[in-house]
Every structure is written in C-alpha cells, then in structure tokens.
C-alpha cells in the first residue's frame, strides 16, 4: 500500500516530490524510530538546511529530542557526537498519543464510563438569582 499511495499522500511518509528534492543531499543519520535525517544546501541566512523523513505517519512528536535539537540548529554537530549519552534513569521519549487508544483519559471521561467522583461540599453552583 505504501508505494502505491505514497505519491498522493503527504501524511504517510515523504511524497515523491520530497524524494526528488532530497537528491544531492547527505543522509546524516537515523533515530530509534526509523526516521531518517538529511542535510544539504543552505537557507537564506546561510545556515545548513536539515530535513527529517518520517518512518510512518508524519507526526513531529515522533522526533527524538536529540534530533529535534539538531534539526533546529541548537547543536551544530550530530547528536551522537555533540550530546552526552542517555542516562539509565531517563525514560525514552513518547510520541503524542492524543486521539489514540493509549491517550490519557481521566476518571469521568466518557471513554472510561463517564462517572466521576462526587463534588465535595466546597463547591456551590452558580445561579442567576444569587
């Protein structure tokens, strides 16, 4: 499905126009999610242009923090060489789960049954007569 649908969709990976635009650019790395990063040319300010080609849906929250800093010119060199190694206590980054079955739903949400805790005595509803 990917190769047939790819020329017509922008939300499921790179389009054929993007692939043509990446000709002559340098592939610089790949993250744990399979996203591929490119660099080449320069923008109007003379900074090098940088791209990410997502592995799967185009969701910017799926970019690892170290590659985010590289994409936005917060670090000059590649993350593997310029940033310290991840600590044991650090959790791996998670993409934005809003709209998925894994999204956070507090008690009282319709998806969790719609029953919330009863209001405490310190709440008094507004009435126009009060």
User: Does 29 have pLDDT greater than 50?
Assistant: yes
pLDDT confidence of residue 105: 86
Spatial strand order of the sheet with 36-42 comes to 26-30, 36-42, 48-53
The model carries a pTM of: 0.66
* Burial grade of 52 (CB within 10 A; 0-12, 13-18, 19 or more): buried
pLDDT confidence of residue 3: 55
Q: If you average pLDDT over residues 15-31, what whole number do you get?
A: 80
User: Does 5 have pLDDT greater than 60?
Assistant: no
How far apart are the two ends of the chain, measured CA to CA in Å? 62
What are the tokens at 107? 């008690």
* Bridge partner list, 39: 26, 50
pLDDT confidence of residue 65: 87
Percent of the chain beyond pLDDT 70?
83
């Amino acid at each position: 499905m990917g190769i047939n649908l790819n020329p017509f969709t922008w939300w499921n990976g790179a389009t054929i126009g993007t692939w043509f635009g990446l000709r002559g650019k340098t592939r610089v790395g790949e993250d744990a999610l399979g996203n591929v990063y490119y660099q080449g040319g320069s923008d109007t300010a003379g900074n090098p242009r940088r791209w990410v080609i997502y592995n799967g849906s185009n969701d910017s929250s799926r970019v690892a923090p170290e590659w985010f800093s590289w994409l936005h010119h917060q670090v000059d060199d590649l993350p593997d060489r310029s940033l310290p190694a991840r600590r044991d206590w650090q959790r791996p980054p998670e993409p934005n789960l809003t709209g998925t079955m894994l999204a956070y739903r507090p008690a009282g949400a319709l998806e969790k049954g719609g029953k919330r805790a009863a209001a405490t005595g310190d709440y008094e509803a507004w009435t126009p007569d009060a």
